[in-house]
Structure 1
């Protein structure tokens, strides 16, 4: 170990011996940044924010000096050092809001302390990780679990260095806000600047802490720390509950949303540095938002009717825009409709209407109590791009199974680039401009058509389309005795054709007569057309021809209400009349009697379900020649 690193470690050990354990919660945020000088010199700056109302004065006094560790990014400890503060007492951070404009101004106090020191870092192909950790956090934080036991662990990355070039970290422009008002829109610029001119992007990211063994935060800062354990319903990407949700714009760094729950919430923002399309560095800032009921005296607000960012409306019909006002009433209003070439595009009405001179994107601004101490304002985009009209021509006649071509006939001043068709038949949305669709069943369908153009305009139209469900419907299969005739029953159609034509009097009519001189099963297929639309239909039926009278009786039935084999009844062919059909239990008691070939026994007696078992039946019937026959047997009732 060289003498320089030995000196750093000695200073650190002395700091450990002199520090007394402090059990306190006062850290509310912080970040680490750096600037690069010549000869591998890096000035590292550690900034922490402290609660000077609820924080322990002893803990605050022991923040100085700060202990940092520098690791290579493969986890090897490079040095440990202590840094004295630029100002041992820190400086007060402005509250960032006007107390006189709040009915119940909360008492706040935030103290910022900065530690800055220059180091000579060896050239490396791996880069460095600078780490600071300290105890402790506020115990009242809502979005992480057991916050009182967690310290903070802040870090920054120094990319690989060489003698020819080095990197300067991005630096956040604004202090974190101390107070956020619940159920009020939040707009906070959390962007950064970078003196190297690197491209910057932003996101909510994972925060880190540590579980201290000494509870005073004076240990060697660990390389990575512990990921913050977010509570149920929260995550680093969703640190605050809000409607609309609290989000950060990845390009501008603007944090927006409306918090709906009071409390203290940890938020971590990552600022990524990009050079020639490659991510070279990330700077993080952790801070706590305190969401409280501010009871603001004056609030300027107008709705957002578009799903585009901060846009009041996208008007695609004409140039006239009516402005709705959701602000506090009985105060003064001043509207500027955002036409840069005009000075008279203003109004003092509560809810005005304005006709824009041309298409374009404008920034409309509403100021409530302009010129007063407690003025408030809000601005939203207004996009005027007439016109867009979704139009399509629905087909006049559609048959089941037809290939239907839909055509986009929309009118738009600007290029239409998105389409969506909903055919109302549970099929997926079709995003083609001119789709082809097949309706697989008949009915009345409310077809919807939506379009959007490259200016954000959207429009929708609907048309009811009748798909003819025509079917000849020739009835159920039937059974007859050889030599008998039947009349087929086709209806509600025209242009009938029966196939095959064998045994039929005329295969081209709806109700041909069939005379069957042979036994067997004959399958007939009929095609016809709807009289209203000409849509084709198809049906079939079977004719079972027996050599003589026939009786089929099941040997079991299951009257359990499932719609299958629930009734016991005879299947009779060639008998012209049933004299009686009777069912008895094993004691000879009559359970059921009928003279009909339909219906049958449902397994009950006087409305009571009968027990499982064997029952006996008698059937007396006359055949086609008037001869009486008595047939008997048994059946099993099952459940």
Structure 2
């Protein structure tokens, strides 16, 4: 079992980006019922959730124009303006709530919802919803063109053929905001979702989209043809590895985990595939900026298991690279010989064969504590 003092507050980077202000978004829909006046139509509520950097000198969320294009196939069927339906709220990182955090970090973002209802014919092939916008935050670390990048938030309403006459609403992500994570540290972020229709869900990283005009300074009206242009990722990053090869997403749970990349802003897009009756039928997406900062925290990190078959001496090492640890306490799990050396790397000689549970507790500034355990199997002569 591992216990990490890990900062997983959902925030956005606060780097000033002039006119580049949007730091993430999600377009989703809810089926509200059949059209009372025409059984061949259905009523949907379509909602856009936008994030903005607090320190941006760009347009405010109060003045943001949000228009969604509704496409049947690749052709524009209708444009739907989405008025803002909530006040703009501000969330800031309260560093005082994280005494184990070391480093000069801070983040602030604003969020608002834009929404409207629409009546749509029950299409056999369904609809693709797209909102083109300007402008993502600048200095995005995993893009080859890191500035003046547009956005395109997309979701799909499946057709009656795929649904066999049924209806559908978008899944709802458990996590609503983006993440602040410390560079080169282990992290775990639950990005799972709940489906209102009880459909099965699978998760993957996928390409985020840009707008045809890029970050040209204005929000683009829906074009006549559907646009789904991937962002220009910079190697070794890609849509399927937006944080590098050391970070992955569990396809069954949506949990993102691994070792965080170097400090910076990273575009991450999570795709959910909805399954019904054993078949995939719809895709939902969330596009967000993960802010990775140069911070540190107190952490004990041991392997899950150590097996020693050569002799009775076992080497232990805290795999955390935290520079803020001031004290180590080791307990090697054998009551006859417990020692507490002040070091992150130690050797201990057991008196007998057996299975032991060793403990490490580390402390740092302001009384911060981290702990971890490891199962130790000592059986010299057995290979």
How high is the TM-score relative to the length of structure 2?
A: 0.75
1:233 to 233, 236, 261: 236
2:122 matched to 1:123?
Answer: yes
Counterparts in 2 of 1:325 and 1:150: CA distance versus 1, 3 Å: closer
Q: How does 1:313-352 map to 2 (within 5 A)?
A: 313=305, 315=307, 324-327=317-320, 329-331=325-327
In the alignment, the residues of structure 1 paired with residue 156 and residue 62 of structure 2 have an alpha-carbon distance, to the nearest angstrom, of 28
2:52 matched to 1:50?
Answer: yes
3-state secondary structure, aligned to 2:47: strand
In the alignment, the residues of structure 2 paired with residue 108 and residue 85 of structure 1 have an alpha-carbon distance, to the nearest angstrom, of 24
In the other structure, the counterpart of 2:149 is: 150
1:31 to 26, 33, 38: 26
Q: How does 1:85-484 map to 2 (within 5 A)?
A: 85-92=84-91, 98-161=97-160, 165-212=166-213, 215-220=217-222, 223-241=226-244, 245-296=246-297, 298-302=298-302, 304=303, 312-313=304-305, 315=307, 324-327=317-320, 329-331=325-327, 368-369=362-363, 374-376=368-370
Aligned residues of 1:50 and 1:112 also touching (Cα < 8 A): yes
In the alignment, the residues of structure 1 paired with residue 116 and residue 381 of structure 2 have an alpha-carbon distance, to the nearest angstrom, of 61
Any idea what the Cα deviations from partners look like across 1:117-156, whole Å, max 9, x if unmatched?
Answer: 2222211110111111210012211221324332100100
Following superposition, the deviation at residue 217 of structure 1 comes to 0.9
Any idea what the Cα deviations from partners look like across 1:165-198, whole Å, max 9, x if unmatched?
Answer: 2012211101344422112112111111112222
Aligned residues of 1:149 and 1:211 also touching (Cα < 8 A): no
How high is the TM-score relative to the length of structure 1?
A: 0.47
Aligned residues of 1:247 and 1:255 also touching (Cα < 8 A): yes
Q: Considering only CA atoms, is the larger Rg found in Structure 1 or Structure 2?
A: 1
Following superposition, the deviation at residue 277 of structure 1 comes to 2.1
In the alignment, the residues of structure 2 paired with residue 81 and residue 336 of structure 1 have an alpha-carbon distance, to the nearest angstrom, of 65
Counterparts in 2 of 1:369 and 1:36: CA distance versus 1, 3 Å: farther
In the alignment, the residues of structure 2 paired with residue 251 and residue 388 of structure 1 have an alpha-carbon distance, to the nearest angstrom, of 40
Q: Which moved more, 1:132-141 or 1:287-296?
A: 287-296
Following superposition, the deviation at residue 59 of structure 1 comes to 4.5
In the alignment, the residues of structure 1 paired with residue 122 and residue 94 of structure 2 have an alpha-carbon distance, to the nearest angstrom, of 42
1:41 to 43, 59, 67: 43
Aligned residues of 1:95 and 1:177 also touching (Cα < 8 A): no
Q: How does 1:477-496 map to 2 (within 5 A)?
A: none
Counterparts in 2 of 1:95 and 1:246: CA distance versus 1, 3 Å: farther
In the alignment, the residues of structure 2 paired with residue 384 and residue 128 of structure 1 have an alpha-carbon distance, to the nearest angstrom, of 57
Counterparts in 2 of 1:207 and 1:45: CA distance versus 1, 3 Å: same
Any idea what the Cα deviations from partners look like across 1:448-467, whole Å, max 9, x if unmatched?
Answer: xxxxxxxxxxx6xxxxxxxx
Counterparts in 2 of 1:260 and 1:215: CA distance versus 1, 3 Å: closer
Counterparts in 2 of 1:288 and 1:388: CA distance versus 1, 3 Å: farther
Any idea what the Cα deviations from partners look like across 1:394-428, whole Å, max 9, x if unmatched?
Answer: xxxxxxxxxxxxxxxxxxxxxxxxxxxxxxxxxxx
In the alignment, the residues of structure 1 paired with residue 378 and residue 164 of structure 2 have an alpha-carbon distance, to the nearest angstrom, of 55
Any idea what the Cα deviations from partners look like across 1:360-394, whole Å, max 9, x if unmatched?
Answer: xx9x9866449x763445678x59799996xxxxx
Counterparts in 2 of 1:260 and 1:82: CA distance versus 1, 3 Å: closer
Q: How does 1:508-523 map to 2 (within 5 A)?
A: none
Following superposition, the deviation at residue 314 of structure 1 comes to 6.6
Counterparts in 2 of 1:325 and 1:56: CA distance versus 1, 3 Å: same
Q: Which has the higher contact order (CA 8 A, sep 6+)?
A: 2
Counterparts in 2 of 1:284 and 1:96: CA distance versus 1, 3 Å: farther
In the alignment, the residues of structure 2 paired with residue 28 and residue 272 of structure 1 have an alpha-carbon distance, to the nearest angstrom, of 24
In the alignment, the residues of structure 1 paired with residue 359 and residue 167 of structure 2 have an alpha-carbon distance, to the nearest angstrom, of 44
Unaligned runs of 5+ in 2: 1-17, 35-41
Any idea what the Cα deviations from partners look like across 1:426-484, whole Å, max 9, x if unmatched?
Answer: xxxxxxxxxxxxxxxxxxxxxxxxxxxxxxxxx6xxxxxxxxxxxxxxxxxxxxxxxxx
What's the RMSD between the two structures over aligned residues?
3.8
Following superposition, the deviation at residue 103 of structure 1 comes to 2.7
Counterparts in 2 of 1:385 and 1:195: CA distance versus 1, 3 Å: farther
Following superposition, the deviation at residue 48 of structure 1 comes to 1.5
| Paired residue total | 340
In the alignment, the residues of structure 2 paired with residue 28 and residue 262 of structure 1 have an alpha-carbon distance, to the nearest angstrom, of 16
In the alignment, the residues of structure 1 paired with residue 318 and residue 249 of structure 2 have an alpha-carbon distance, to the nearest angstrom, of 26
Counterparts in 2 of 1:49 and 1:93: CA distance versus 1, 3 Å: farther
Counterparts in 2 of 1:135 and 1:277: CA distance versus 1, 3 Å: same
Counterparts in 2 of 1:112 and 1:101: CA distance versus 1, 3 Å: same
Aligned residues of 2:353 and 2:378 also touching (Cα < 8 A): no
Counterparts in 2 of 1:82 and 1:277: CA distance versus 1, 3 Å: same
In the other structure, the counterpart of 2:71 is: 71
3-state secondary structure, aligned to 1:116: strand
In the alignment, the residues of structure 2 paired with residue 45 and residue 93 of structure 1 have an alpha-carbon distance, to the nearest angstrom, of 24
